[in-house]
């Protein structure tokens, strides 16, 4: 069924965007702006592929992607939180470094076939016509993305720890005065964002395209960053935005296959053009943006000694 096949490809294309964006959302809620999502994703992708290639186990590959993304984020955390380097410049450098390191590490396995992560069928539910195949016969990354949305939403708005994290993001000075561990909390948030970016990268090399290709993240990290703004730092909106951008990505591929008389370069640029359009629309509603943006986002914090 063509409609079912299209929906399945939209889910596969949207999942890494949702995972990476929800991790960055938590990072930004703590007041840290990490523009290195693209770099962490690509490092997670190459590490996941190579670990799977070496062991034959995609589960080991997933773990390698998560650990490598979190470890890579620690470099960003050390530079920006401990040494108080500029967050924007450090994030950009992290992306460039990630692209370079991944290309060097994965040079020997470029284009080699990998081991694809198999879908997990949920008993009984997966037998439901159409809906069962779409929602209940998916890979672990899809289920993880839904669990992350639910878990992060509960954490941020229902738990005391989440309230403290948001307080740090809104006023790190006041939070520090009240005795909240600002730097430690931000380190944990940065590591969580890195782990999610690494998990998203693992999905690219184990499910979306089960092989290693240099620069295979193809700007998805930047789209994930835009998704956080699009969602106004709200987890459920990340899910909606991720699937919107995933649908645009898959839609342009099907449009090219149908031979629509538009240049292929224009069609390929549609997801990124959509990102720019969405950001322009959001920028017009300055009141909503100011209300939802963490007040200390991107601002350095040096505790009084």
**Domain assignments of the chain as residue spans, ordered by start:** 2-292
* 143-154 per-position pLDDT tens digit: 999 999 999 999
Contacts of 20 (CB under 8 A, 6+ apart): 37, 41, 196, 197, 200, 220, 221, 224
* 108-132 per-position pLDDT tens digit: 888 788 888 888 888 888 878 878 8
Contacts of 276 (CB under 8 A, 6+ apart): none
Band (22; pLDDT cuts 50, 70, 90): very high
Per the model's pLDDT, the better-predicted residue between 189 and 292 turns out to be 189
How far is residue 93's CA from residue 95's CA, in Å, rounded to a whole number?
Answer: 5
> What CATH number should be reported for the domain whose range is 2-292?
1.10.3470
* 163-192 per-position pLDDT tens digit: 999 999 999 999 999 999 999 999 999 999
- % of the chain with per-residue pLDDT over 90: 57
pTM strictly above 0.85? yes
What DSSP line would sit under 135-151, residue for residue?
HSEE-HHHHHHHHHHHH
From the CB of residue 154, how many other CB atoms can be counted at a distance below 10 Å?
12
How far is residue 115's CA from residue 109's CA, in Å, rounded to a whole number?
Answer: 13
Torsion of CA 167, 22, 229, 175, to 10 degrees: 10
pLDDT at 59: 93
- 8 A C-beta contact, residue 211 and residue 55: no
Asked whether the predicted pLDDT for residue 42 surpasses 70, the reply is yes
pLDDT at 260: 66
Cα within 13 Å of Cα(58), Cβ side? 18
Band (285; pLDDT cuts 50, 70, 90): low
pLDDT at 245: 85
pLDDT at 6: 81
* 228-268 per-position pLDDT tens digit: 988 889 999 899 889 988 888 787 776 666 666 666 666 66
Helix (H, G, I), strand (E, B) or coil at 78: helix
* 45-81 per-position pLDDT tens digit: 999 999 999 998 999 999 999 999 999 999 999 999 9
From the CB of residue 142, how many other CB atoms can be counted at a distance below 10 Å?
23
Per the model's pLDDT, the better-predicted residue between 282 and 99 turns out to be 99
Q: Distances in Å between the alpha carbon of 41 and those of 49, 86, 235?
A: 12, 21, 20
- Identify which of 267, 249, 14 has the alpha carbon closest to the alpha carbon of residue 141: 14
Contacts of 95 (CB under 8 A, 6+ apart): 35, 36, 37, 38, 39, 221
- Point out the least confidently predicted range of 38-52, 93-107, 289-303: 289-303
Question: Which spans in the chain are helix H?
Answer: 2-29, 37-55, 58-77, 87-105, 131-135, 140-158, 160-170, 172-177, 182-203, 220-230, 235-257, 264-268, 270-284, 286-292
């Amino acid at each position: 069924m063509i409609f079912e096949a299209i929906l399945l490809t939209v889910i596969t294309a949207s999942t890494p965007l949702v995972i990476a964006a929800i991790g960055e959302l938590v990072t930004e809620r703590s007041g840290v702006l990490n523009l290195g999502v693209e770099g962490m994703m690509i490092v997670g992708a190459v590490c996941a592929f190579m670990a799977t290639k070496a062991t034959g186990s995609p589960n080991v590959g997933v773990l390698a992607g998560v650990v490598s993304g979190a470890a890579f984020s620690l470099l960003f955390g050390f530079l920006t939180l401990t040494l108080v380097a500029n967050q924007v410049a450090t994030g950009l450098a992290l992306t460039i470094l990630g692209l370079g390191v991944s290309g060097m590490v994965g040079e020997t396995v470029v284009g080699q076939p990998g081991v694809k992560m198999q879908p997990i069928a949920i008993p009984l539910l997966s037998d439901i016509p159409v809906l069962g195949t779409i929602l209940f016969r998916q890979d672990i990354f899809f289920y993880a993305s839904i669990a992350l949305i639910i878990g992060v939403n509960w954490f941020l708005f229902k738990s005391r720890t989440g309230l403290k994290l948001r307080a740090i993001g809104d006023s790190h000075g006041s939070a520090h005065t009240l005795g909240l561990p600002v730097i430690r909390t931000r380190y944990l948030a940065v590591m969580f964002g890195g782990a999610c970016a690494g998990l998203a990268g693992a999905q690219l090399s184990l499910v979306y395209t089960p092989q290693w290709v240099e620069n295979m993240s193809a700007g998805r990290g930047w789209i994930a960053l835009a998704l956080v703004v699009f969602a106004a730092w709200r987890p459920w909106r990340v899910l909606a935005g991720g699937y919107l951008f995933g649908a645009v990505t898959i839609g342009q591929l099907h449009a090219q296959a149908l031979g629509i008389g538009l240049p292929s370069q224009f069609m390929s640029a549609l997801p990124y053009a959509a990102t720019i359009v969405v950001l322009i629309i959001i920028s017009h509603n300055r009141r909503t943006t100011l209300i939802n943006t963490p007040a200390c986002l991107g601002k350095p914090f040096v505790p009084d000694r």
